[in-house]
């Protein structure tokens, strides 16, 4: 199990690096397009489609990372009034719900990507399935991480990064 966990953790790190690269490339391509359009008075044909693909991929990579690091928003108004044993079961229900959503992402994301491989995007002529190919991949990570959370095996022994720490410590009007 430890070898499998190390492989998944390495894959997560690869996805984080890939997400960083996508964010940089999206920004650079958008800046180049704006410069070309308003200064040079011409438009790059594929400059809207490629950053759109990158944005979709970045969003789904971020979703998977958010599940792993438990960074998604939650509403705790009623949660805090329950006793601890009910809180425990509610958290398990949340993990089970997220895992179910991850399985749905894998199954229907795969179907969507497969169906849309027949059509092409207008500017790049790439199969549209490339746009949706990240959905089942992200679903696999969401399913794995929520399953590990459900079983209580997702113990994070690595040091938290600055963004995770800042987001977890962010308090919006609640008790401190």
| Per-residue pLDDT tens over the stretch 76-130 | 777 888 888 898 998 899 999 999 999 999 999 999 999 999 999 998 899 999 9
Question: Is the dihedral angle over the CA atoms 170, 173, 175, 176 positive or is it negative?
Answer: positive
**pTM of this prediction exceeds 0.75:** yes
What residues does each domain of the chain span? 2-156
DSSP 8-state code for residue 159 = P
Helices and strands (H, E) in the chain, number of each type: 6, 0
């Amino acid at each position: 199990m430890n070898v499998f966990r190390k492989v998944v953790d390495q894959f997560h790190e690869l996805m984080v690096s890939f997400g960083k690269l996508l964010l940089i490339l999206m920004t650079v391509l958008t800046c180049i397009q704006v410069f070309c359009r308003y200064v040079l008075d011409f438009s790059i044909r594929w400059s809207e489609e490629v950053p759109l693909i990158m944005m979709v991929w970045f969003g789904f990579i971020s979703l998977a990372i958010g599940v792993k690091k438990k960074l998604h928003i939650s509403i705790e108004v009623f949660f805090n009034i329950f006793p601890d044993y009910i809180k425990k079961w509610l958290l398990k229900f949340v993990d089970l719900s997220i895992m179910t959503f991850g399985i749905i992402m894998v199954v229907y994301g795969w179907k969507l990507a497969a169906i849309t491989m027949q059509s092409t995007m207008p500017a790049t002529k790439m199969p549209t399935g490339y746009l949706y190919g990240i959905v089942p991949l992200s679903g696999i990570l969401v399913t794995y991480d929520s399953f590990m959370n459900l079983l209580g095996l997702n113990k994070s022994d690595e040091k938290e990064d600055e963004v995770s720490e800042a987001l977890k410590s962010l308090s919006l009007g609640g008790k401190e």
